[in-house]
Amino acid sequence: MLKLQEIVKTYTVGEFQQTALNSVSLEFRKSEFVTILGPSGCGKTTMLNIVGGLDHYDSGDLIISGKSTKNFVDAEWDAYRNNSIGFIFQSHNLIPHLSILQNVEMGMALSGVSASERTARAKEVLIEVGLKDHIHKRPNQLSGGQSQRVAIARAIANNPDVILADEPTGSLDSVTSIQILELIKRVGTGKLVIMVTHNPEFAEAYSNRIIRLKDGIVVDDTNPVKHISEMDTQYQLKKTAMSFKTAVISSINNIRTKIGRTLLTAIAGSIGIIGIALILALSNGLGNEIARFEQETLAGYPIAITPSRLDFERLRELGETDLPEFPTDPIARVFDQQRFQNYLSVPNVITQDYIDYVQNYINTTGQSTIAGVKFVRNTNMTVLVNTGTELDPTYRTFYSEVKNPPIPSNPGAPFSTARFTLLPEGVVFTNNYEVIYGSLPQRNTTGGSTFEVTLVVDQYNRIYKTTLERMGFVIPDSEIDTYTVPFENLLGLEVRLFVGAYVSGESDVSSAITLRISGIVRAKETSNVTIFNNGLGYHHDLIDYIAQNYSSEIGSINSIFIYPNNFQDKEAVKAHLNLYNVGLDDAQKIEYVDQAQTFTSLVKGVIDTISIVLIGFAGISLVVSSIMIAIITYISVIERTKEIGVLRALGARKKDISRVFNTENLLIGFAAGTVGLLISLLLIIPINHIIYSLAEIPNVASLTIIHMSLLLTVSITLAFIAGLIPARMAAKKDPVVALRTE
């Protein structure tokens, strides 16, 4: 059955070499009860470990059923221990956090016996060893004798061919010892039992063969094997593998025994998760808030294509100069701020090609996305207000523009501050403005030179002071905040539009176009479109009239303002405008400005930056908690060294050992993630209350399912990674050393 051939085993401790077995040759029968006697340190345990495949010899050979083990790989040793060997140790070595039943089942679990089958078999052997009534107890609830009975049950559960017992009665009183020996003899019937003992009487009484060892050498063998025929069994091995379920059960049980520590670890691990969850919830909520704001409040800002635009790249260079800061020399220097401003604004000249492109879009696919559009041409014109009398007029310039204006150094300014504005075509105006006094300007159908215009007030019915003054109202300084004008005084007010180059006192204003205020309009309360909020608005009719009668005074289209229906449509329009620039040189590109977006992307950028910084900090706490998990796993590995040895003796592979620890860390990671998310969800409630009381924005912080599953994954992954190295250490532990530790 088993044959040791000149087995040599030497342990090296530092410089010192200890030969534990010095060329031991022995043969064992398939069925016999062998005791090994010898003084302490003579190599008895070493021999058992080598026979059991737990320790490996330096030279010689262990022949199992005629098969040399010289070229055995780890898997074969694991399978051999699991299938063929049952170990019984002096100190019982039960796994403390598993129930007695689970302890007995472990070996079978490792060889893949189904759960129901192994429970049945474990109960069977526990009854066999006389522990019928103690099946569901824990190891620490048993006496020494009972513990050893469990160990015996565990050793025979997998029905091994060989039972190896290393001083099984060493820690028991004599009465119990005899019971245990009787039991071993009984369960070992028909098997090879090799038992180490100190007690020669026991050896005489129970065994049919006594081998004496001294200093690693066999000095006596009462019944050596003489005939080859006595070595007959065939050697068969099944592979072992711990199922994931077994690993999980073992992990859960172990976690249960130190629930306090595990909880602390999970809470520590959850702090980083909480940090990141809250930051994500807030920035996500603020992002949504901004998007909502953008949609509801700012979507109405037109997409503006103006003759110049700000170059943000250049804006960044704004502060850069080679001049020394805070110089001490008493010299003033010149700063050409004009050139600087010109430098920042880049010409954005609209070509006919571009106009056709936009026009084509508006008339076809873009039609449904656009509420209104405005093609602005500059004209040589001046709007004049008569501050004198009818007969003796004195004209004051209300507004003036030229056909070919220089590129404005402040792009965007003309359309927000203009006092005289072309109303966009399309429904955008009537949809968003209501007449609060008088009527909408009539279209000029008579061909006469009088046109109706509207006067716009803001939501407080205010008109710019300067606008009122230019219309001839005199506002005393003392009344700056209280001055009012009844609408009826404004209605019917007439101003003159002089087309051409106006020279004060020389130009003949009598033949100029007359503009009459027909109504006061104001943005609707529900409106979110800003066309203008200051001054006079005119219809395209006026432009047509000027084009017809003063064609030489009118310039080409220099600005386009597009008012999309809503936020989504704006994106569609922008996408279409972007298409125009594809493949063009920078100089040929025509860029639009989306003021609303420029604003919100700035805010969003700031929030994103803050979030990233905060997440960085939270990330550090995540790293710290990962290190903690690593340390705790490491401590756990040290604490459970003995258990690792026992599991290996039962046939667990290295993989199975690391799996037990990895599973435990997965569970801790899961717990940390879950605890973290639960606490975050709880914290979000007061946080939202605080934000609401501060800013009146309801439910800003919110966690999405995606964020939550992401965070849970992060938590599990980090805990797993943190535990990998300690788990590997556990797997690599030498089972012999592990079993020797106390």
**Does position 46 bind ligand ADP by CB under 6 A?**
yes
How many chain residues touch Mg ion (CB under 5 A)? 1
Q: Can you tell me the distance from the alpha carbon of 19 to that of 217, in angstroms, rounded to the nearest whole number?
A: 10
Antiparallel, parallel or unpaired: β 303-305 and 554-564: antiparallel
Say if CB 142 and CB 134 are below 8 A apart. yes
Report the nearest approach of ligand ADP to the CB of residue 90 (Å).
10
**Does position 42 bind ligand ADP by CB under 6 A?**
yes
**Does position 312 bind ligand ADP by CB under 6 A?**
no
CB under 5 A: which stretch of 44-52, 73-81, 422-430, 453-461 binds Mg ion? Answer: 44-52
Residue facing Mg ion at closest CB distance: 45
**Does position 693 bind ligand ADP by CB under 6 A?**
no
**Does position 41 bind ligand ADP by CB under 6 A?**
yes
Query: Of the two residues 40 and 551, which places its CB atom closer to Mg ion in the complex?
Result: 40
Among 35, 45, 270, 558, binds Mg ion (CB under 5 A): 45
Question: What does 271-309 look like in DSSP terms, one character per residue?
Answer: HHHHHHHHHHHHHHHHHHHHHHHIIIIITTSPEEE-SEE
Identify residue 128 by its one-letter amino acid code: E
CB under 6 A: which stretch of 34-42, 321-329, 519-527, 643-651 binds ligand ADP? Answer: 34-42
Among 2, 4, 7, 20, binds ligand ADP (CB under 6 A): 20
**Does position 40 bind ligand ADP by CB under 6 A?**
yes
Query: Of the two residues 80 and 89, which places its CB atom closer to Mg ion in the complex?
Result: 89
Query: Of the two residues 120 and 737, which places its CB atom closer to ligand ADP in the complex?
Result: 737
**Does position 147 bind Mg ion by CB under 5 A?**
no
87-146 residues in contact with ligand ADP (CB under 6 A) are none
DSSP type of residue 425: B
180-219 residues in contact with Mg ion (CB under 5 A) are none
Residues 6+ apart with CB under 8 A from 124: none
**Does position 18 bind ligand ADP by CB under 6 A?**
yes
Report the nearest approach of Mg ion to the CB of residue 167 (Å).
6
**Does position 741 bind ligand ADP by CB under 6 A?**
no
Strands (E), 14-55: 16-28, 32-37
Sign of torsion, CA 146 147 152 155?
positive
Query: What is the three-class DSSP state of 637?
Result: helix
Query: How distant is the alpha carbon of residue 705 from its chain centre?
Result: 12
Report the nearest approach of Mg ion to the CB of residue 155 (Å).
17
Residues 6+ apart with CB under 8 A from 58: 8, 9, 10
43 binds, among ligand ADP, Mg ion, none (CB under 5 to 8 A by kind): ligand ADP
Neighbours of 670 (CB within 10 A): 16
User: What are the phi and psi torsion angles at 323 (to 5°)?
Assistant: -65, 145
**Does position 13 bind ligand ADP by CB under 6 A?**
yes
Q: Can you tell me the distance from the alpha carbon of 667 to that of 27, in angstroms, rounded to the nearest whole number?
A: 48
Query: Of the two residues 45 and 369, which places its CB atom closer to Mg ion in the complex?
Result: 45
Among 26, 32, 43, 701, binds ligand ADP (CB under 6 A): 43
Report the nearest approach of Mg ion to the CB of residue 171 (Å).
13
Strands (E), 335-492: 345-347, 370-379, 381-386, 395-401, 420-422, 433-438, 450-457
| 658: nearest Cα among 583, 578, 733 | 733
Query: How distant is the alpha carbon of residue 713 from its chain centre?
Result: 8
315 binds, among ligand ADP, Mg ion, none (CB under 5 to 8 A by kind): none
Interaction pattern, residues 3-42, with Mg ion; x per rule: CB under 5 A:
----------------------------------------
278-297 residues in contact with Mg ion (CB under 5 A) are none
**Does position 212 bind ligand ADP by CB under 6 A?**
no
**Does position 636 bind Mg ion by CB under 5 A?**
no
18 binds, among ligand ADP, Mg ion, none (CB under 5 to 8 A by kind): ligand ADP
Say if CB 651 and CB 244 are below 8 A apart. no
Report the nearest approach of ligand ADP to the CB of residue 91 (Å).
13
Neighbours of 685 (CB within 10 A): 10
Say if CB 719 and CB 666 are below 8 A apart. yes
Q: Can you tell me the distance from the alpha carbon of 449 to that of 451, in angstroms, rounded to the nearest whole number?
A: 7
555-594 residues in contact with ligand ADP (CB under 6 A) are none
Buried residues in 516-532 as b, exposed as e (16+ CB within 10 A)? ebbbbbbbeeebbbbbb
Query: Of the two residues 49 and 600, which places its CB atom closer to Mg ion in the complex?
Result: 49
- Residues binding ligand ADP (CB under 6 A): 11, 13, 18, 20, 38, 40-46, 737
- Residues binding Mg ion (CB under 5 A): 45
